[in-house]
Amino acid sequence: MNQVDEPSPKIRPEPALTSQQEAAIHTEGVSISLSAGAGCGKTFVLTRRFLKELEPGGRAGSLGRLVAITFTERAARELRDRIRSRCREMLATAAAADAEHWLDLLRSIDTARVGTIHSFCASILRDAAVESEIDPAFGLLEPQVEPAVRSRAVRSAVTRLLEEDDADLAELVFQYGFDKAVTILEEMLSADTKAASDPKVDEIDDPGEIVAAWTEQWAERSVPILTEDFLSRPKVLSAFDLLSIHDTSNAVMQQRRATILATLAELRAGGSVETALADLADAAVVKGGGGKGAWVSEEVYEEIKDGLSDLRDEIKKLKSGIEFELEQAVEGARLGLIAQRVLNEVRREFRATKRELGVLDFDDLLTMTRDVLKKNEAVRRRVAAGIDLLMVDEFQDTDPVQAEIVSLICGNDLTRGKLFVVGDFKQSIYRFRGADPTVFAKLRGSLDASGQLSLSRNFRSRDEILRFANTLFAAPIGSSYEPLIAGTDSPPLSEPPIELLLPRGSDPAESSDDKRKREADAIARRIKQLIDDQIPRIRDHDGLRPVRPGDICILFRVKSHFPIYEEALRRASLGYYLVGSKAFYAQQEVNDVAMLCRWLAEPEDVLSLAGVLRSPLFGLDDEMLLALRDAGSTIDSGLFGETLPELSEQQAEQVRFAAQTLEELRFQKDRLPIRELLELAIDRTCYDGSMLLEKFGPRKVANLRKLLSMAAAADRSGIVSLGDFAARIGDAILEQADEELAATEAEGGDVIRLMSIHQSKGLEFPVVVLADMDWQDSSRPTKATIHAELGPLVPTPSKESSSHLGVMIHKVAERRADRDETVRLLYVAATRAADHLILSAALPPDGRFQSPWLKLIADKYDLETGLPFDSDADAPTAKLFDAPPDVSFETTARRTDTVRLCDLRETLAATEPERQIALTVPTIVRSEWSVTALTKCLSAPSLRKPVGQSSDQTPSSDDSLSDEPRDFGSAVHHMIESADMNDTPERRAIRLQSIAREFDVSPARLERTLETFSESDVADSILSAEQVERELDFRLPMTFESGTAMSITVVGQIDCLIRTSDGKWKLIDFKVPAIDSNDAQWPAQRKVLLERYSIQLQLYALACREIFAQSKTKPDVTAELVILGRKCRTIAVDVGLTALAELRTSIKEKLVELRDEETDGRR
């Protein structure tokens, strides 16, 4: 660091900083591992620590040498915004000597290296493309398209291997059958991410060696877990408690009692399981132990007898659970190795497919970055030399590969101040994405003790909520749990802010769905009560205020049962917003469109045809379908035959309409893009209108619009056919793949929110309702996989056989990991609440429950009273509801989702999806945009309707006759572009008639429009131009920097480009509005047209300037819209340098937004 006479003073710690925050921000000389509890201000600390490194005279002083890695792009935006805001604060209070420093920093914030681990790795790979042997312009294969690419690679490899008579594939097919063998390979390839490159897996080729390793792991890891589970089972604990309390007078029974108590104690201490189980089984009987008289009472004897019987049952279960068949284990290992050898061929095919597409998947980004850093010292040194401080947020949600990348970059400086990681083991809830919660603990333990810092002072929640969390989670999370402490005092309340909403039912045989309906009703009643009673509960600047709908969030462990709770809120007339429900592929409208796509792609699929005909697309009933089948050999032959079956006049009309419409769609399927084909189907059948009139109508239409957006994405990809699109939708329906329902309510409104706990991570809400607490976990099916330590795992071929040893080990480990994560998931949910927390479940009449969550609460609270047990003196009291709150719902005469027919058009237009979700190659992958697509993407939704059109406007006969506006506009364009101004009237008339027939438009109207144009100044300018270029196709490359480089190509066609006599160039674009305007209407229409088409003309101008950039003179370009109607009107469009610069900025911001939305959606 350069020395100066009077160094600038450091930024002093703010008085508001806690001692924990101050240590995290100002500790130097060691790397930091910051364990940040929920609501403890970790983003605040990250911001301050980031800027501390950039203080005048500070350690680093260079923005480009700081790297901050966040979990999502949204978190990256938030961190960058906070850094920018803090820079402004520093600039406002800086000494004169430092003002320029903060001003320069503020101007450079957009270049800060703040982003996700994937964007960080992508930048490393692009820089080290030669060493990594990849194309530096690679795209990213998004999860939405990856299953289709992966499946294609598997089937391509399998086909090739079958042709080559591959022995391994033949054995797999023999053992499992063809379809199951393909499924196994797809499952293994899906799991084949980090583990596949682990030498411990790839180097094993002997089944005996694998089984020996399995046997060791079973004894050392799995059996202790099973034993611990056995000791914690209620029946075992009950037997232990009974024998501890009650003694017996019989000597034999005394010995048995002593044996049981001692053996259970030995098992807890890690004693031999096999011997212990034998001893327990022998001792857990009452026969020969003196009978009833040996106990204090007959009642006690019966309890002991039943308790020992239950204990014997549990002993049998454990004994059965720890036994395995050696031969079956060897066979499982053999088949796993065979599958792995076939998988090697599939891997090569998958890599070749990605290379052909020019993409990497997200796992490639991580593994290839790790590999190039590990294998190429020059690359590692280059990357490390460009980083002074590496900051990683949410480190508890990283995986071993990401942790290895961090370690490789830091190298010998891993503990010496080059690393600043923030995490919280208690909030690690992303195992399903590969996160390993032990990674954070291992790294933290490797750092110097002075760098192992914590944030435990919570600034989010009331003290009662924090004490409730501490009471519940300290024991199950264990010694790593750090109690949360309230950072501020809260005003006192008139009643507890923690509630147990546990209404009892009256039917012991009540189904799970009926229980949830009862619980949902109780939740709706309690919410309505909270809103209506106007009791101050929510902390505000002025003290406390009543609850508002927008304060409330209902959280769910899974999203499967959202509709039940939605219906209850609707009955209570409570507005709500559904955040990202993943039931999209379960919706009727998605199934209907999928069946239509399948039939259009495969007309012989009669079952799909029958589904289309029965759907609201055509509404044929079963009687009509049977009549069609009877009229021909199949439904399709009856539908498209020359004669119709005997039907009523109305039914016959329905059938004729269906046949004509489907014939039209079949004719157009190879001529139209997928989206336009589906739009045609919807338009012909008024399907969106029929959906709107059903229950949840607006959402159904929004889902339909979203499906069209997915079809448009498939069109843009250029590699997805209608058959591919139909297959992907069909697979997603069968798998119930994750995809969000389209939104129909503004997220920012004053409405109740419903979301999953995972979606709530990082958020907070004044009131949290945790619903469906008494859930019952269902066992997951066994899938083939690649495990880093166990190797390749495939299921046992025989359905009658149990799992082999390797699969058994994997299941035991997964169950334990799932159980631990379940506790952390509840912790995350409870700590989202700032002011009020409601825990809800519907219980049966006897109050019994089945979920581990309620067991956790029942260990600390009396579920009959809501009071904590005496041993937990610091636990706050909870308010108990054992019956639904007594609240009446006002009923209305009209259903809340009913739409008046006169409002149908406006409602349909308003139900656009919240955001467009790509099914195939998303925006971040796709590099090519049409001018139209990019213009629509940048334009406001309100400008996408036909100009001048509204719900109560219809064109007059003089204006549009019967022509489609799009067809007429195309005809006018074609006429002008092919026109020779020196043509004779006869030749012009012949060409006009030909074009009118080709586009099926009115010759009179076309002639009138052309006459208006030919008499205009625009026509004269074209006639007098020195050079005229028509229908110019162009490809405009554009590159933007935003953390990582983003490159797109804009493709389009310029209507007309002329060079005037003074050497200047003018862009001319012809438009034919759907509704012509008179002189009084023209100013308003001119404004709308200018807003709608300015972007398009500016993109054309950018393309022209790119072409002219090669010219020495670099001529100016102007642009005008030519509106062809009753009059030929012109509108000048600003294509100056300032306007074009603003356009580039808008495009960059939109691309960043789309990238961030898609990345967040993926997470």
Nearest to 409 by CA among 17, 920, 818, 67: 67
pLDDT for 810-839, tens place per residue?
999 999 999 999 999 999 999 999 999 999
Using CA atoms, how far apart are residues 977 and 845, in angstroms rounded to an integer?
80
Binned at pLDDT 50, 70 and 90, residue 913 comes out as very low
- 550 and 661 co-located in one domain: no
Tokens encoding 1103: 């393309």
Task: Give the pLDDT score at 893.
Answer: 37
- Give the CATH number for residue 624: 1.10.486.10
In a domain, 421, yes or no: yes
Do 241 and 232 meet the contact criterion of CB atoms below 8 Å apart?
no
The domain containing residue 297 runs over which residues?
Answer: 139-357
Tokens encoding 102: 């903060």
Task: Give the pLDDT score at 1081.
Answer: 77
pLDDT for 795-807, tens place per residue?
988 766 668 999 9
Q: Is the pLDDT of residue 951 over 50?
A: no
Q: Of 69-78, 320-329, 906-915, which one has max mean pLDDT?
A: 320-329
Do 339 and 207 meet the contact criterion of CB atoms below 8 Å apart?
no
Q: How many CB atoms neighbour CB 814 within 10 A? A: 13
Q: Of 52-56, 440-444, 616-620, 888-892, which one has max mean pLDDT?
A: 440-444
- 265 and 239 co-located in one domain: yes
Using CA atoms, how far apart are residues 1046 and 926, in angstroms rounded to an integer?
11
Pairing, β 765-770 against β 552-556: parallel
Q: Is the pLDDT of residue 660 over 80?
A: yes
Using CA atoms, how far apart are residues 23 and 35, in angstroms rounded to an integer?
12
Return the minimum-mean-pLDDT range out of 200-209, 255-264, 766-775.
200-209
Task: Give the pLDDT score at 432.
Answer: 83
Using CA atoms, how far apart are residues 596 and 218, in angstroms rounded to an integer?
51
- 932 and 985 co-located in one domain: yes
**Secondary structure of 879-896 as H, E, C letters:** EEECCCCCCCCCCCCCCC
Tokens encoding 875: 């636990």
Task: Give the pLDDT score at 927.
Answer: 62
- Position with higher pLDDT, 970 vs 287: 287
In a domain, 973, yes or no: yes
In a domain, 8, yes or no: no
In a domain, 1096, yes or no: yes
- 340 and 438 co-located in one domain: no
Binned at pLDDT 50, 70 and 90, residue 912 comes out as very low
Do 877 and 866 meet the contact criterion of CB atoms below 8 Å apart?
yes
Nearest to 792 by CA among 362, 203, 151: 203
Residues annotated within a binding site for ATP: 36-43
Using CA atoms, how far apart are residues 1048 and 824, in angstroms rounded to an integer?
42
Cα dihedral sign for 563, 565, 566, 571? positive
Using CA atoms, how far apart are residues 13 and 26, in angstroms rounded to an integer?
8
- 871 and 993 co-located in one domain: no
- 1005 and 954 co-located in one domain: yes
pLDDT for 705-752, tens place per residue?
878 877 887 776 566 678 777 777 776 655 544 444 444 444 446 889
Residue 928 CB partners (closer than 8 Å, separation 6+): 716, 718, 1048, 1049, 1051
Average pLDDT for 265-290:
89
CA atoms in the 13 A half-sphere facing the CB of 90: 29
The per-residue DSSP string of 641-677 comes to SSS--S--HHHHHHHHHHHHHHHHHHHHTTTS-HHHH
Tokens encoding 357: 């597409």
- 542 and 680 co-located in one domain: no
Q: What angle (nearest 5°) sits at the alpha carbon of residue 1146, between those of residues 1140 and 1148?
A: 105
Task: Give the pLDDT score at 624.
Answer: 83
Average pLDDT for 313-334:
93
Strand (E) or helix (H) holding 1034: strand 1027-1042
In a domain, 533, yes or no: yes
Domain boundary among 296, 329, 357: 357
Task: Give the pLDDT score at 1114.
Answer: 63
pLDDT for 83-103, tens place per residue?
999 999 888 888 888 888 888
Task: Give the pLDDT score at 345.
Answer: 94
Tokens encoding 743: 């939104």
Average pLDDT for 44-57:
90
Using CA atoms, how far apart are residues 38 and 36, in angstroms rounded to an integer?
7
Do 635 and 609 meet the contact criterion of CB atoms below 8 Å apart?
yes
Do 926 and 716 meet the contact criterion of CB atoms below 8 Å apart?
yes
Binned at pLDDT 50, 70 and 90, residue 594 comes out as confident
Percentage of residues in the chain with pLDDT exceeding 90? 43
Do 784 and 795 meet the contact criterion of CB atoms below 8 Å apart?
yes
Domain boundary among 357, 375, 406: 357
- 372 and 311 co-located in one domain: no
Backbone φ and ψ of 928, nearest 5°: -120, 130
Q: Is the pLDDT of residue 871 over 80?
A: no
Task: Give the pLDDT score at 712.
Answer: 80
- Give the CATH number for residue 130: 3.40.50.300
- 571 and 638 co-located in one domain: no
- 991 and 1083 co-located in one domain: yes
In a domain, 889, yes or no: no
Tokens encoding 910: 């308003």
pLDDT for 1108-1140, tens place per residue?
765 555 678 899 998 887 788 899 999 988 888
Binned at pLDDT 50, 70 and 90, residue 59 comes out as low
pLDDT for 357-411, tens place per residue?
888 998 999 999 999 999 999 999 999 999 999 999 999 999 999 999 999 999 9
Binned at pLDDT 50, 70 and 90, residue 222 comes out as very high
In a domain, 917, yes or no: no
Task: Give the pLDDT score at 1113.
Answer: 59
Residues annotated within a binding site: 36-43
- Position with higher pLDDT, 117 vs 203: 117
In a domain, 469, yes or no: no
Q: N- to C-terminal Cα distance for the chain?
A: 41
Task: Give the pLDDT score at 583.
Answer: 58
Percentage of residues in the chain with pLDDT exceeding 70? 82
Nearest to 120 by CA among 315, 340, 383, 335: 383
Q: Indicate the length of the chain as a whole number.
A: 1163
Task: Give the pLDDT score at 1160.
Answer: 56
- 571 and 682 co-located in one domain: no
Residue 883 CB partners (closer than 8 Å, separation 6+): 503, 504
Using CA atoms, how far apart are residues 399 and 76, in angstroms rounded to an integer?
19
- Position with higher pLDDT, 884 vs 966: 884
Using CA atoms, how far apart are residues 57 and 211, in angstroms rounded to an integer?
61
Binned at pLDDT 50, 70 and 90, residue 987 comes out as low
CA distances from 654 to 622, 659, 675, 856 (A): 13, 9, 25, 60
Structurally, how many domains does the chain consist of? 5
Domain boundary among 357, 384, 413: 357
- 69 and 156 co-located in one domain: no
**Secondary structure of 291-305 as H, E, C letters:** HHHHCCCHHHHHHHH
Using CA atoms, how far apart are residues 576 and 566, in angstroms rounded to an integer?
8
Nearest to 1096 by CA among 1051, 1046, 1141: 1051
Task: Give the pLDDT score at 914.
Answer: 38
Q: What value does the mean pLDDT of the chain take?
A: 82
Do 728 and 919 meet the contact criterion of CB atoms below 8 Å apart?
yes
